[in-house]
Structure formats: structure tokens, C-alpha cells
Amino acid sequence: MILEATPSVGNEINPWLSAAARFDEAVERLELDEGLAKVLRTAALELTVHIPVQLDDGRLEVFTGYRVQHSIARGPSKGGVRFAPDVTLDEVRALAAWMTWKCAVVNLPFGGGKGGVICDPSVMSEGELERITRRYTAEIMDIIGPERDVPAPDMNTNAQTMAWMMDTYSMHKRQTITAVVTGKPLDLGGSRGRPEATGRGCMIVTMQALRKLGLEPSNTRVVVQGFGNVGGMSAKLMARAGFKIICVIEHDGAVFNAHGLDIEGLMKHFHETGSITGFSEAEDIDRHEALYLDCEVLLPAAKENVITSANADRVRARIICEGANGPTTSEADAILADKNIFVLPDILANAGGVTVSYFEWVQDRQGYFWNEQLVNGRLEEIMVNSFKDVVGYAEKHKVHNRLAAYMLAIDRVAFALKTRGIYA
């Protein structure tokens, strides 16, 4: 919906082309061997499955699903499964590569994978969703597993979907294997701290950026776009850490308070009324213009293509923390760099989620579960180290943070490939 505010900019808004452009730029800067680049550009394994499912009205329907493993050079592939009517193999392929770079930036022992089923969950019953999930799992069984490829929730899939996947896999293997998926319910091998992990990661890297730029949380005004899992949790944790959240933008409006919004009160209001607008302690403002407010931190945490070549020059934030995947197009990167905006790129900023998914996998394999303090402490360590790695790399190679994140990630995966050698 934000596209109303950001005029169409043609191919620029194809996030997969943006990701490819960044990959190409990073490969060029790294002067990577063309053969290695070819390997890294290509998914290692792509599986298409056709899933017959009996619908509630008795009809038999056939759905198409995909699972793509982009890379297993650094460990099992890791990545979500989405259910949506417009899923394509191209999209799943691009998202799988994206996961490879994200896992490598935060130095997890995973490669990247992604899955999807073409279906419309909004018109499907719980029973139909369970049958589609189980049959999809059965069809991709031979290529997933704790040591091979570990799915997780993504668009329109959730902890219940993961419980069905885990159960289906386990029934076939004749033993309960919780580590085959992450994002499970807590009582079925899920990890404490997972629901907050992405927002917590955003808060941690933003705090690092403030330190780097000599700013204090109490003088930091934040504008958050998207008040869901990532945006809501980031706002809550940042407010607790003393940041002033001056504006929250949702799909139907924006609210503003120059002294800082009462985030927990706003969450209650949002939950009760279904909208953030009309909150008593704030002023309703134009949601399109809100993106360009004078602030220290802009946190796009709703969707892709929010900052493009058409509006990047209007952004007045000192720091952009990309909670969402792909909120900035590759054409906008250069404009933000010229404006000296400190960008915390998505593959770093929102990697807290996959990091705690990694912790879930580790805990499942150990059969020993950590308390929340331990999860949060280890998450902090990984996010702080990753921030330092990316920013240090950017300074050393005189590139902006996003290019540094891609170069670092590609370098790590290329190193693994080279060192393992090509099996022939």
C-alpha cells in the first residue's frame, strides 16, 4: 500500500533485481573469481512438487510447492516457507539466496533456503491448511532434516504450521525430531525469546549505531513504520531503553507525539480498535508525509520498496534501521549514501530472528533449553559482533554499510566453497 506514497519506479521495485544488483556490485568489488561467482549465483538444489489435497467440499485440488536450497557451503540451509497465491520459483530462489547472505553476515553455520506453496490461505480452512502442509512436508522430506535443510515460518505460516511439519517428518522417521524446523510452539521445542528476537536485534544494532555516531538514546527520536511483530517489538524495546518513539506509521494512518509515544498504551489501543489512529495521547498525521519527519532513526518494519529513488532524498533520518526485508531499493542506496545516512541493512538489522532460530535448532539438538536471559545475552553478543564486523568492513574498504554486509557475506561463503573445494 505504501506504493501510493512512493511513485512507481519500474523495475527498481523488484526486490529480487535489487538483491541481484547488490550481489553483482559486491562480487565486482571483491574481484571474485567469475567461476566462484557463478556458483554463488546459482541455487544448489530446486525441488518443485505437486500436492494433491482433498478440500472440505470433497473436491480434489492440486497445489504447486517449491523448496530451494541456495547454498549448503557453511552448513544446512535455513529459511522460511510461505503460503501465498503469487509465490513463484523465481521469488523462492531469490529469497533462498538472501538467506545465505543473511546467515553469513551474522556468522551462523547455515546456508540459505526457502520454500513456498501457491495457495490462498485466506480462503482455506484450518483442516485444508493442515492437509496441504503435511503433504508438502511429505513431498520435500528427502531434502529437509536437521542436518540438511531447516524450514521456518514466513508469510502466512506460523508456529502451528511448523508443528504440523515437525509431526509429519517425525511420523515418517518413527521418532520425534524437533530440530527439523524452527519457529515451533515453546512446548514443542521452540525457543524462548523467538517472538521478540527480530525487534530485539533491531534495537541492539541501533544502539550500536548511536554509540558509533555519538548519540544518546534519550535524545534519539524514532519513526517506526509497521506496528506488527518487528516494528511493534522494536518500538517497545527501544522505548524501554529510553528512545523517544515520536511516530508510528501503519497501513491506515500515522500517530505523532513530539515527546515520545506511550508505546505499550498504543499497542493496547491498536489491539482493541484494530487501528493506531485516534490514540488519545497522540496527534493523527498524514502517513505518507510521516516517513520524512525529522528524526534520528527511521525504522521501516512493514514491507519492501518503501525508500526508492523517487523519495530517498526526502528522508531526514540520521540512521535507517531496516527491520523489514528489502525496504530500500538498490537505486536508493546511492542517494542515502550521498546524504551520509547511516544504514543498518536488512541482512544485518533483522537477522535477530534467524539467530534465535539457530538457537532453537541448537537447543533441540541438545535437548536442553535455555532461559530467556541466556537467549537474549547470546543474541546480543552475535548482533554486536556482526555490527562491528560490517561497520569495520565498511570503513576498511571505504564502502557503505549495505555493500559491506554483502561483501562480507559473499566473502565468507566463497571462502567456505574454496576451502572445501569442488567435488568432482
Report, as residue numbers or ranges, the catalytic residues.
114
Q: Min. distance of Cβ 287 from ligand NAD in angstroms? A: 7
| For ligand NAD, the closer CB: 179 or 249 | 249
> First CA to last CA across the chain, in angstroms?
49
Q: What is the DSSP string of 29-53?
A: HHT--HHHHHHHHS-SEEEEEEEEE
Please, what is the minimum distance in Å from the beta carbon of residue 98 to ligand NAD?
A: 10
Nearest to 323 by CA among 354, 344, 294, 292: 344
Q: How far is the CB of 350 from ligand NAD (least distance, A)?
A: 4
Measured from the CB atom, the residue of 117 and 324 that comes closer to ligand NAD is: 324
Residue 157 CB partners (closer than 8 Å, separation 6+): 80, 81, 82, 83, 133
**Please, are residues 15 and 305 in contact by the beta-carbon 8 Å criterion?**
yes
Question: What is the nearest approach in angstroms of ligand NAD to the Cβ of residue 199?
Answer: 8
Shortest distance, position 251 Cβ to ligand NAD, whole Å:
4
87 close to 67: Cβ distance less than 8 angstroms: no
Dist. CA 247–CA 298, nearest whole Å = 10
Q: Are 284 and 261 in contact (CB under 8 A)?
A: no
Strand partners, 221: 244
Residues of this chain that interact with ligand NAD (CB under 6 A) are 1-2, 198, 225-231, 249-251, 301-303, 323-325, 350, 353
**E strands, 305-405, in order:** 319-321, 342-344
Of 133 and 198, which has the nearer Cβ to ligand NAD? 198
CA distances from 25 to 14, 103, 342 (A): 17, 19, 19
Residue nearest to ligand NAD (CB): 228
Pairing, β 60-69 against β 111-118: antiparallel
Nearer to ligand NAD, 27 or 310 (CB): 310
Measured from the CB atom, the residue of 146 and 195 that comes closer to ligand NAD is: 195
Nearer to ligand NAD, 217 or 226 (CB): 226
Q: Which helix (H) or strand (E) holds 101?
A: helix 89-105
Q: Write down the least CB distance from residue 95 to ligand NAD, Å.
A: 9
